[in-house]
Amino acid sequence: MTGTRTETIPLVDETQLRLTIGEPEGAVRGGVVVLHESRGVTSRTQAIVEALAGEGWLAVAPHLYHRDDPEIDDQTGEDEAVGRAAAAISGESVLADSDAAFGVLADRGVTSDRMAVLGFDLGATAALVVAAQRSLGAVITVSAAGVATPLAEGLPRLLDVVGELTCPWLGLYGERGDPVDPADVDRLREAAHASGRVVDVVVYPSREHRFDADEHATVQPDPLDEGNSEEATKMEARSRVLNWLDAHLR
């Protein structure tokens, strides 16, 4: 039975980076770096890491707030603290933490063409920044914001980076309640084609933002666990994510 563990490794900037890791029971098919939402590495993020490991992927989630407010990684945190930590994220910090996570995958023999980065919300924006500057096998994002205006002062706007993508991109959005304007989704999709990479941007009609979960539920369902959700959209999104990994990490 797969599970998760947390390790701490030193970085060159003399900070300590925590990583939540999901290890497959059998052979490692490839690796996925999971970049968390604005509330940090929550139980939901851990469930995603564990579910990916159950599919044979070595999954690693770096705790991106370790420099400024590490406690947000351990609990939901107050809105003010979450906002402060999210605003402090930068392209440089995201790349440094992602590189450390990629290093864990490389140490297990995973080559860059068998590595992917997957992100949700804030992590989705960060994932596109990473995929524009690192050679990878695939990138998957759920509700990547900051399209025309940077999501944080230290992050670029996504329209300025998607044309440099190094790998196939699967982008998922919900039509209703999503923080990204549908017109911006269209602009982002068009700009991404300049990269020459395979691009599949899907907008699910009549679905709320974070269609993969019930935001008000006490226990969040795992979007990669088909058994926890009967909604067709969630099942279809789950299949798209896993199929994208299967198709591009070979």
Which bin fits 212, alpha (ψ -120 to 50), beta or left (φ > 0)? alpha
Low-confidence stretches of the chain (pLDDT beneath 70): 1-2, 68-77, 176-178, 206-231
pTM summary value: 0.89
> Strand pairing of 138-142 and 30-35?
unpaired
End-to-end CA distance of the chain: 24
Q: What pLDDT is stored for residue 216 in this prediction?
A: 46
Q: What pLDDT is stored for residue 86 in this prediction?
A: 83
The pair of structure tokens assigned to 34 is 């999971």
User: Domains, the chain, ranges and CATH?
Assistant: 4-248 (3.40.50.1820)
CB proximity list for 20: less than 8 A, separation 6 or greater: 4, 5, 6, 41, 45, 46, 49, 60, 61, 63
Continuous segment of H or E residues that includes residue 16 = strand 16-22
Q: What pLDDT is stored for residue 244 in this prediction?
A: 97
CB proximity list for 37: less than 8 A, separation 6 or greater: 44, 45, 120, 121, 122, 123
Q: What pLDDT is stored for residue 70 in this prediction?
A: 62
Q: What pLDDT is stored for residue 215 in this prediction?
A: 47
